[in-house]
Structure 1
Amino acid sequence: MARIAENREPAQPVSAEQKERYARILRAAARLGSEHGSDRMQMNDVAKEAGVAIATLYRYFPSKNDLFVGLMNSQVHNLAAAPAITAGRLPSEAVADVLVEASRKLLERPLLATAMLHANNSAQLSVGREGSMASRAFHVVLYRALNLTDPNPQDQRLVRLIEQAWYGVLVSVLNDVITFEECEDDIRLSARLLLGPTYDLTPELPL
């Protein structure tokens, strides 16, 4: 019988041993999610492959949705750890570069990407305006690309808009509506239209 997910906050790993166990769970979920997607991936199989008790898995991830959100968050943190390449790039181009690279990595495993995006959308609905953990971390990556250290409400609104546009483009690729080449073009156009007028303007030189 499938376990009913508990409505509680996931536990966070603290000790080195817990963090290593947590990482094993994410690796197992990524592999199984890539192979089976969300519907066919079983939590028992994740626990078995990760070498942890099922109770341990549910302590960190009370539901399959929490597990895929955790995977999305780990992807975003890997993206945040990468050095930002902004030299010689307009801010909108720097953001587009980040989004194209993130798309490339996600689309290498389409079943897993679909599961993570659906889970993150569900998490957004449940937490409201604060946004999911993964989305908040992703916004920080985009602020860095825009060279913003103290984003104001307008900055936050524009970053939310470009994130929403990016999600829509990814869904179109995953549904075979557009190719990856068209995806990249759409991302760069969206960044230029949404962000360019605000962030790509250079100060006028004195006469």
Structure 2
Amino acid sequence: MPRIGTPREPGYASTPRQLARNAAILDAARRLGERHGLERVQMSDVAAHAGVALGTLYRYYPSKHHLFAAALTSSIAALPEPTAGSADSVGAAPADPVAAVRDFLGTAAGNLLAEPQLARAMLVSVNVIRSAADTPADPVMPQRILSIAGIDAPSEEDRRLVRMVEQCMYGILTWATAGQLDAAAAVADVRYACELLLAPWRIQG
């Protein structure tokens, strides 16, 4: 196994072949993460299941935490748009932005908690990556929330509300994956948090 020194930034797939390889890596990580949990997953096993060389895996993901954090990002990015509270026409703002975000994040929470060992692996990894002082915040979740809410030019207050909702959701999921909350209660809490924290969007509307 190659020695990995100081963690570096992960590589990025751009060509169709690289994108397919990256998708295979993330799929293998998800399957092994749910089967074995974060601590027992080995990078060599991920590479073998993905059909790539170990060096290729490390080129994309310099650590196991980078790998599972990326798995969470791709899972969020792949979630379908909500239907409740959605816009009447394509490209228009939703009739109820709070309901749209509430349903999106409720679905996201339910999907993640359907595979609890994988969810824990991804959440722990995100926290480890974010604890690094020079690591920028992952923009995928905030961008999806703003897009679903139909906010094209967010104010600082909008960004603050989105940040609070994201932090609250990850906190609830962390409790659930630690066994402190069952999945149904966690989803209900995520939905309720959206109603409370995003209420200003209804007032503005």
Partner SS, residue 151 of structure 1: coil
If the length of structure 2 is used for normalisation, what is the TM-score?
0.88
Moved more, 93-102 or 176-185: 176-185
Identical aligned pairs, as a percentage?
36
1:37 aligns with 2:37: yes
Question: Counterparts of 2:111 and 2:69 in 1: how far apart (Å)?
Answer: 16
CA contact (8 A) 1:146 1:199 kept: no
Against the structure 1 CA distance between its residues 154 and 128, is the aligned structure 2 distance closer, same or farther, given a 3 Å change threshold? farther
Q: Structure 1, residues 97-121: CA drift from partner, whole Å, max 9, x if none?
A: 1111001111111111011111111
User: Structure 1 or 2: larger helix share?
Assistant: 1
Matched pairs, number: 197
Aligned positions of 1:125-204 closer than 5 A: 125-126=131-132, 130-131=136-137, 133=138, 136-196=139-199, 198-201=200-203
Letter of the structure 2 residue corresponding to residue 98 of structure 1: F
Gaps in structure 2 of 5+ consecutive residues: 87-93
Gaps in structure 1 of 5+ consecutive residues: none
1:128 deviates by: 5.8
Letter of the structure 1 residue corresponding to residue 154 of structure 2: P
Q: Structure 1, residues 96-149: CA drift from partner, whole Å, max 9, x if none?
A: 111110011111111110111111112222256841x3xx11111111222211
CA contact (8 A) 2:106 2:188 kept: no
CA contact (8 A) 1:5 1:62 kept: no
Against the structure 1 CA distance between its residues 36 and 107, is the aligned structure 2 distance closer, same or farther, given a 3 Å change threshold? same
2:81 aligned partner = 83
If the length of structure 1 is used for normalisation, what is the TM-score?
0.87
Question: Counterparts of 2:62 and 2:148 in 1: how far apart (Å)?
Answer: 34
CA contact (8 A) 1:5 1:63 kept: no
Question: Counterparts of 1:16 and 1:49 in 2: how far apart (Å)?
Answer: 20
